[in-house]
């Protein structure tokens, strides 16, 4: 089973940035909503341990679902660039940047493709958010 770790490194007015590790290796950057007391669709998830599984979303396509988030459901790891794309989920990218003057992550589809390759033989993983 893969061991995933999301290390949050900075929080801005509307975004939380992090580094996403797979089996101890930093591989991707993340973009989440700012912490807003775990508000559904408007906050990053609480720090803690979670299960992750492959998921097919009607709106996001192939992605990964984060299970057992207290008070929340349908938390996904998916592609996107801006906080407006998060809906309380975790976005993966290859690097940080700006789009239209907003904090963003870039090459998100590439990051999701590479993450899917990393997860190819694993249907589930453990995620630690710190």
Q: Is 13 left (phi over 0), alpha (psi -120 to 50) or beta?
A: alpha
The alpha carbon dihedral of 102, 22, 119, 52 has a sign of negative
- Report, as an integer, the average pLDDT of 107-113: 97
Q: Per-residue pLDDT tens for 38-65?
A: 999 999 999 999 999 999 999 999 999 9
Query: How does the average pLDDT of the chain come out, rounded?
Result: 95
Domain ranges, ordered by start, for the chain:
2-129
Percent of the chain with pLDDT over 90: 91
What's this model's pTM, rounded to 2 decimal places?
A: 0.95
The predicted pLDDT at position 121 comes to: 85
The predicted pLDDT at position 122 comes to: 86
The conformation of residue 103, written as its DSSP 8-state character, comes to E
């Amino acid at each position: 089973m893969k061991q995933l770790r999301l290390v949050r490194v900075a929080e801005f007015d509307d975004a939380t940035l992090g580094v996403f590790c797979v089996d101890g290796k930093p591989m991707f950057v993340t973009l989440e909503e700012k912490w807003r007391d775990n508000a559904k669709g408007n906050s990053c998830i609480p720090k803690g341990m979670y299960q992750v599984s492959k998921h097919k979303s009607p709106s996001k396509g192939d992605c990964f679902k984060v299970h057992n988030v207290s008070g929340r459901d349908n938390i996904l790891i998916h592609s996107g660039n801006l906080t407006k794309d998060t809906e309380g989920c975790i976005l993966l990218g290859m690097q940080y940047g700006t789009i239209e003057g907003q904090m963003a992550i870039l090459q998100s589809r590439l990051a999701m493709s590479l993450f899917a390759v990393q997860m190819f033989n694993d249907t589930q993983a453990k995620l630690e958010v710190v």
